Structure 1
């Protein structure tokens, strides 16, 4: 019974993280390439045309990563990778374009919220596994 109570919040977290990663890969990187995303690649020394390709490719990787939350719903590893990746992306923004952190709904807000979801998921997975 207790184990079943943990399933719905875990599924909600998995679906939310999947949707956020898929959205972030599809909308600002593939369908409507964000100037901010292009600028990050250019700040790393990539030419404009190649920067646009890199943005699209990073969007594809984000979509694939989002799908992993739908496929592997019983493992904390994907959440550990999420926390690590989001921390790395946040550090990248701090280095390449720190002014992005001053805007509304900036990467700091999104990344921390997504990291906290993964922290909660890891805690729920440990609780569920201890109830077996």
Structure 2
């Protein structure tokens, strides 16, 4: 049986991540500001929670676009993984109550980290069918 094309795996991983970042950047931060987003930001002691939420939303949209547009480089996958780990650790330290809610950063971020790993491995340079280089 022939193995699946790694380019398909890479594309699916990138599209999955991009849709996740687009949704989480646009819906709970830019269109309908989530009380949970405000609470997490205010837990840091920031007064301008609405502004920071909007900036975070824009950053997530930019990262989503980078995942889709910058196809020949792996840095958007690495940046996504770093952001996901960093934000998960941040929530665990600053607002751990969010980790036990029904829809929480643990399930979302760990799933997204697996997508990062799938994309990274599917695009590794030694893969002859890879769509990206290691640069």
Q: TM-score, normalised by structure 1?
A: 0.89
The equivalent residue for 2:33 is 33
Q: Name structure 2 gaps, 5 residues minimum.
A: 130-135
Q: Which has the higher helix share?
A: 1
Candidates 58, 61, 85, aligned match of 1:60: 58
Instruction: Provide structure 1 residue ranges, at least 5 long, that are not aligned to the other structure.
Output: none
Is residue 2:13 matched to residue 1:13?
yes
Offset of 1:16 from its aligned partner? Answer: 1.1
How many residues align structurally? 128
Q: 1:77 to 1:3 in 2, by over 3 A?
A: farther
User: How much is the aligned-residue C-alpha RMSD, in angstroms?
Assistant: 1.9
SS in structure 2 at match of 1:130: coil
Structure 1 residue ranges, 4+ long, deviating more than 2 angstroms after superposition: none
Report the equivalent of 2:79.
81
Residue 43 of structure 1 aligns with which residue?
43
TM normalised by structure 2 equals 0.87
Which whole-Å deviations, capped at 9, do the CAs of 1:63-89 have from their partners, x for residues lacking one?
111111111123222111111111000
Q: What pairs with 1:95-110 in structure 2 (closer than 5 Å)?
A: 95-110=93-108
Q: Label 1:96 to 1:131 Cα distance change in 2 as closer, same or farther (>3 A).
A: same
2:127 aligns to what? 130
